[in-house]
Amino acid sequence: MATESASKKSEFPIAPPIEPMLAKLAEALPPEGGYLYEPKWDGFRAIVFRGADDVYIQSRDSRPLDRYFPELHDALLTNPFHPDGMARDLDRALRMPLEERVERHTKLDAAVRRTTAVTWAEEFLAALGACR
């Protein structure tokens, strides 16, 4: 996986990390509607760098997010607009041994069950409290 970001930067067309453009605080909206609005839902903002056979997920503050979302790695490698790549990945999934499918589904199910808004908030507040 792409968790070893420093050694993998050269594999991407654009080398991570890059600093994203962030919103700026303003007193009022532009007068002629010259603005875009994007709601912030619960979740993470990320930039994904995709190479030929690897991905790197970067946070808005230029840190790696890969370790938090290991299940996304293979999903992001599949390009839905590349018919040959989709065929290859679908074939691999269909031929995947039952043991591997069970292992993957078990890990994903465990991650989904243990990560709720409440558990995330509790972990965040605990980490915040540890910063004192």
Domain match, 72 and 58 both = yes
Cα–Cα distance, 67 to 63 (Å, whole number): 11
Domains of the chain: total: 2
Model pLDDT for residues 20-56, shown as the tens digit of each residue: 877 777 788 777 777 777 666 666 778 889 887 888 9
Give pLDDT tens digits for 60-78.
888 888 887 777 887 888 8
Task: Please tell me whether residues 52 and 115 are part of one structural domain.
Answer: no
pLDDT tens digits for 120-132? Answer: 888 888 888 888 7
- Note the pLDDT of residue 97: 95
pLDDT of residue 7: 45
As a whole number, mean pLDDT of residues 104-118 equals 82
Q: Where in the sequence is the domain holding 119, given as residue range(s)?
A: 97-132
- The predicted pLDDT at position 95 comes to 93
b/e for 87-113, b at 16 or more Cβ within 10 A?
A: eebeeeeeeeeeeeeeeeeeeeeeeee
pTM: 0.54
Predicted pLDDT of residue 1: 44
Distance between CA atoms of 127 and 124, rounded to whole angstroms? 5
Residues 51 and 76 reside in one and the same domain: yes
Check if the beta carbon of residue 15 is closer than 8 Å to that of residue 51: no
Highest mean pLDDT among 8-17, 38-47, 99-108: 99-108
Position 99 scores a pLDDT of 94
Do 107 and 100 contact (CB within 8 A), yes or no? no
131 in any annotated domain:
yes
The answer on 4 and 65 residing in a single domain is yes
List, by residue number, the catalytic residues. 40
Residue 111 belongs to some domain of the structure: yes
What is the per-residue pLDDT for 50? 86
Q: Is residue 104 part of a domain?
A: yes
CB contact set of 48 (below 8 Å; sequence gap of 6+): 55, 56, 57, 58, 76
